[in-house]
Amino acid sequence: MRRILHIRKLFLFGFWLSSVALAQQQTTLTQTSDSSNNHVTASTALEKQHWTIGFFHAPPLGFLNEKNQPDGFIVDLLNHIAQQHKLNITWQYGEFPDLLNAAKLGAIDILPGLGFTKERARSLIYSNESFANVWGQVFLPINSKVESILDLNGKTVAMLNGGINGENFLRHCNQFEVSVQSVYSNSYDEVFNLLASGKADAVVANNVYGLYMAKKYDFFASNIMFNPFKVFITQNTDSHRAFLALYDRSLQEWKKDPDSFYYKTRQKWLDVASDKPLPQWLYYSLFSVLLVALGALIAAVLYHHKFHKSTAVIMAQRKQLRQIINHMPHLIFLHNNQGDVLLINHSASEFFGLAIMDTGPLNIYQFVAQNQKYKGLIENDSASNIVYNDVKVVNDQEQMRNLMVSKTWLSDDTGKSRLLLTVAVDMTDIRNFEHQIKHLVEHDELTGLANINLIRQHLQQGIDECADKSCHGALLFIDIDHFKTLNDAQGHRLGDIILKTVAERLSNLARTNDLVGRLSSNVFLVHLSNLNENAEMAQNKAVKCAEVICERISEPIVYHNKTYHVTACIGLSLYPRDGNRVSLLLQRADTALYEAKNRGRSRIRVFHQYMEQAVKERHTLETDIHQALKNDDIKLVYQPIVTFSENNCNGWEALARWQHPKRGLLMPDTFIPIIEQSSLMPEFGYWVFERVCQTIQQHHTSHSGQSFYISANLSVSQLKDRRFIDNISRLINQYAIKPGMLELEITESIAMYESKQAADILNQLKLMGIRIAIDDFGTGYSSFTQLKQLPIDKIKIDQSFIEDVPNNTEHTAMIKSIIAMARAIQLDVVAEGVETRSQYEFLQSLDCDFYQGFYFAKPSSQLRFKS
């Protein structure tokens, strides 16, 4: 099923790979746009009236149909252009190598379906507009154990003779030092036959036609993908170029209109149809079954009602007490002063292990004397009044039951003899339920840890105990870093797994007298009681415990064969040093946690008095931000992103600055987190994007000949805003932003834990001509596979890795790995925070693409081309 969904997704993108040859004998066919006529009338718009177009077997893009006529996506497109402009075209069918040579020699006018290479460009002219985007992919037998390109070392790989994908695959192998045995064929049919016959271990093909053949042969598409490129139509350099220009104009116009012939044709040929509707006969069958089931249900209800009515009549007629009490779930028995049982119901008989039909005499006192486990049922028999008592008694099945026993003295018909009626109600399930309710009141439902109610009780006990023993205890608040981002992106199921795993790890670390609890979504608590009589030593023990917790939490979590890493920040308060009231200790541990989170990931902070002032200032800033947005006190500055030449730039990153009336100039890390946590982020984000678009429009007007772009940051909350795409689209149109002028940066945490919704939004942004970059790269755990799944253009190495290179060998190795990985998947690399000449020279030696930092230029309110 996953493979089917994967194929469906690929076809929806509408990719097509050229260089596919199938036919064994070249055939020349002529087809016109009008199915009723073999030729279109002569062109009046172009000097050249007749055009020969080559095509090869590559369904669904181009192929010979059952009527031996040209058919497919590109065939329909070019036929439609010919019909619109009254051109006469001839379709010439053949093998790919032959058609390629014919195009180079000018024997045919047009050859569609080629990717760009320098060698081909010497003899062929390429169109400006592409009609598909494709990539190369390795296809394997269903039983193959190859999982990566490294596993192909020493294997035989079949590929198309003269194809781009084969050349790029071999270049890819050389980069990984993988040696393969290459075998070539002139058509993809022959290539896949080599794999089917066992003469090859793998096939290199384009993704679209490869998937078509894989389905035919029951092969599968591996995750080894490479060389994404656009597909164009071409013609000989000496040929008449009017048709190419006409094609470019047509596709440019079509691509602007979602309802154009281009998109409708792409839907027809490249999109996989949705699930077929159920046949009409099946609806009738289901309806018939439903009617039968409904009739049976009505009959059952009527029968059930009639049965109960008859039973009630019989019971009313007989009026027998035994029948009534035997239906009671409670234990009921009646005996005289001597203990002789006069009446006992089925429930009581079963409880005592007596045969229900046993009518022999039974003396309850003698029976209990022989079975002491039942003695709780005859206690208080001598009391003269009604007695209610809760007892625990083991039944005949050796199960402990909680019984609520009531005893009532009655008189017989003569009024002389007294009878004792005992009724015992089994309260076991109710007591267990009460226990469960108590547990739920005091424990978290998801993790089973203590909740705030039990935490308060346990903490108060610890405070009282330390007051008696003159010792110290500690309270640890533990916050999972960026949990909300992960939970929103990957779904609550993974979030729950992480929370349960963290809860289990904390419980395993806790001592017997410690308490582990969960306060909120991703905030846990550990209460360490009776640490030490000395406050400083108690604090050291608590900090050491916090360090162990951070280390334990950061261990990998595996879910559905994928590995996830989480970290945690910890805030710590000590009692009685930081207070002897539960509410105060909770508040101060939370304050310390807030301070730790402000320092970054996996940080530990111990409460100090000055932290409370910082919290007050934060609340003040929250109020001031609303006014700042109204007064336009927040401004944008632009920091250049320079090329390796060190002197010029063609890009800038937009950064926010807040000129606070009392606190002066504030950097983004002071107020952006506050905006993120409030409801202002969508409004603030729109304000930033509009200012950036205004700047782009102004700069483009004054520097129309220069190529440039401006980058802005994109947050998780903006991705979740349903109005986001509409707002961006409106700004793009309002300010006439051309493709490539606007770039949006997402954090690595979003890239790592992307959801389908986030990926869809990024793809929509790409269709608008917006470039995507990953900011602060290296601080998370992004994998090679995850990066390939997102439509990104570049990665920005986090400045924390740059600040101590080339002296820090660990960071040096990390940067080299990042750049190598980016090269492998054709991504640009930006180094952030470059401040020294040595840093720049080190990065330049690694062929880093772009640089950003104070070494080149500080942020400015104006766009400067010189650093």
For the ranges 381-395, 442-456, 846-860, the lowest mean pLDDT is seen at 381-395
For the ranges 279-293, 496-510, 637-651, 823-837, the lowest mean pLDDT is seen at 279-293
pLDDT of residue 645: 61
Strands (E) located in 519-660 = 523-532, 557-559, 562-564, 568-575, 604-606, 634-643, 649-660
Pairing relationship of beta strands 50-55 and 88-93 according to DSSP bridges: parallel
SS3 assignment for 693-760: HHHHHHHHHHCCCCCCEEEEECCHHHHHCCCHHHHHHHHHHHCCCCCCCEEEEEEHHHHHCCCHHHHH
pLDDT of residue 70: 94
> DSSP string spanning 56-89?
-SBTTTBEE-TTS-EESHHHHHHHHHHHHTT-EE
pLDDT of residue 60: 77
Residues 683 and 670: their CA atoms lie apart, in Å, by 18
Residues 265 and 82: their CA atoms lie apart, in Å, by 15
Residue 66: CA count within 13 A, CB half-sphere:
0
| Residue 195 tokens, joined | 């794999």
Strand-pairing partners, residue 51, are: 89
Burial (CB count <10 Å: 0-12, 13-18, 19+), residue 367: middle
pLDDT of residue 808: 86
Could you tell me which residue, 549 or 824, shows the higher pLDDT? 549
For the ranges 215-224, 411-420, 468-477, 478-487, the lowest mean pLDDT is seen at 411-420
Query: Which helix (DSSP H) or strand (DSSP E) does residue 431 occupy?
Result: helix 428-442
User: Is residue 828 pLDDT above 60, yes or no?
Assistant: yes
For the ranges 311-320, 712-721, 810-819, the lowest mean pLDDT is seen at 311-320
Largest CA distance in the chain: 131
User: Is residue 270 pLDDT above 70, yes or no?
Assistant: yes
> DSSP string spanning 783-851?
-HHHHHTS---EEEE-HHHHTTTTT-HHHHHHHHHHHHHHHHTT-EEEEE---SHHHHHHHHHTT--EE
Report the residue count for the chain: 867
Amino acid at 496: D
Q: What is the average per-residue pLDDT within 141-149?
A: 89
User: Is residue 431 pLDDT above 70, yes or no?
Assistant: yes
pTM beyond 0.75: the answer is no
| Distances 207 to 210, 784, 786, 860 between C-alpha atoms, Å | 5, 19, 19, 46
Q: At what angle do helices 668-677 and 610-631 cross, to 10 degrees?
A: 80
pLDDT of residue 215: 79
pLDDT of residue 837: 92
| Residue 782 tokens, joined | 């992004």
pLDDT of residue 768: 93
Q: CA torsion, points 127, 132, 136, 137, in degrees to nearest 10?
A: -170
Pairing relationship of beta strands 181-185 and 156-160 according to DSSP bridges: parallel
pLDDT of residue 13: 35
Amino acid at 40: V
pLDDT of residue 742: 95
Q: What is the average per-residue pLDDT within 233-244?
A: 84
% residues pLDDT > 70 (the chain) = 85
User: Is residue 9 pLDDT above 70, yes or no?
Assistant: no
Residues 742 and 293: their CA atoms lie apart, in Å, by 61
Burial (CB count <10 Å: 0-12, 13-18, 19+), residue 482: buried
User: Is residue 267 pLDDT above 90, yes or no?
Assistant: no
Could you tell me which residue, 573 or 426, shows the higher pLDDT? 573
Q: How confident is the model at residue 284 (pLDDT cuts 50, 70, 90)?
A: low
Average pLDDT, the chain: 82
Task: Find all residues with CB under 8 Å of 642, minimum gap 6, and list them.
Answer: 648, 649, 850, 851, 852, 856, 857, 867
Could you tell me which residue, 328 or 253, shows the higher pLDDT? 253
Task: Find all residues with CB under 8 Å of 41, minimum gap 6, and list them.
Answer: 86, 88
For the ranges 294-298, 349-353, 701-705, 799-803, the lowest mean pLDDT is seen at 294-298
Amino acid at 610: Y
Q: How confident is the model at residue 732 (pLDDT cuts 50, 70, 90)?
A: very high
pLDDT digits (tens, 9 = 90+) for 191-222: 899 999 999 999 999 888 888 788 778 888 89
User: Is residue 485 pLDDT above 80, yes or no?
Assistant: no
User: Is residue 363 pLDDT above 50, yes or no?
Assistant: yes
User: Is residue 282 pLDDT above 70, yes or no?
Assistant: no
Q: Is residue 61 within 8 Å of residue 72, measured between CB atoms?
A: yes
pLDDT of residue 281: 52
Residues 265 and 826: their CA atoms lie apart, in Å, by 31
User: Is residue 525 pLDDT above 90, yes or no?
Assistant: yes
Amino acid at 397: Q
Residues 682 and 672: their CA atoms lie apart, in Å, by 12
Residues 652 and 866: their CA atoms lie apart, in Å, by 12
pLDDT digits (tens, 9 = 90+) for 168-187: 899 889 988 899 999 999 88
User: Is residue 29 pLDDT above 80, yes or no?
Assistant: no
User: Is residue 48 pLDDT above 80, yes or no?
Assistant: no
Residue 548: CA count within 13 A, CB half-sphere:
13
Q: What is the average per-residue pLDDT within 675-692?
A: 86
| Residue 863 tokens, joined | 């766009």
Phi, psi dihedrals of residue 145, rounded to the nearest 5°: -105, 10
Q: How confident is the model at residue 44 (pLDDT cuts 50, 70, 90)?
A: very low
Could you tell me which residue, 520 or 283, shows the higher pLDDT? 520
Q: Is residue 791 within 8 Å of residue 744, measured between CB atoms?
A: no
For the ranges 318-332, 575-589, 734-748, 850-864, the lowest mean pLDDT is seen at 318-332
Give the chain's count of helices (H) and strands (E).
30, 33
User: Is residue 508 pLDDT above 50, yes or no?
Assistant: yes
User: Cα 787 vs. chain centroid, distance in angstroms?
Assistant: 13
pLDDT of residue 378: 78
Q: How confident is the model at residue 41 (pLDDT cuts 50, 70, 90)?
A: very low
User: Is residue 803 pLDDT above 70, yes or no?
Assistant: yes
Q: What is the average per-residue pLDDT within 593-616?
A: 84
Residues 846 and 586: their CA atoms lie apart, in Å, by 50
pLDDT of residue 614: 72
Tell me the range of 49-53, 193-197, 416-420 where mean pLDDT is highest: 193-197
Q: What is the average per-residue pLDDT within 450-479?
A: 91
Q: What is the average per-residue pLDDT within 99-107?
A: 89
Q: What is the average per-residue pLDDT within 298-311?
A: 70
User: Is residue 820 pLDDT above 70, yes or no?
Assistant: yes
Q: What is the average per-residue pLDDT within 772-786?
A: 72
Q: Which residues of 187-212 are buried (b: 16+ CB within 10 A; e: fewer)?
A: bbbbbbbbbbeeebbbbbbbbbbbbb
Residues 110 and 122: their CA atoms lie apart, in Å, by 16
User: Is residue 667 pLDDT above 70, yes or no?
Assistant: yes
Q: Is residue 390 within 8 Å of residue 427, measured between CB atoms?
A: yes
pLDDT of residue 506: 94
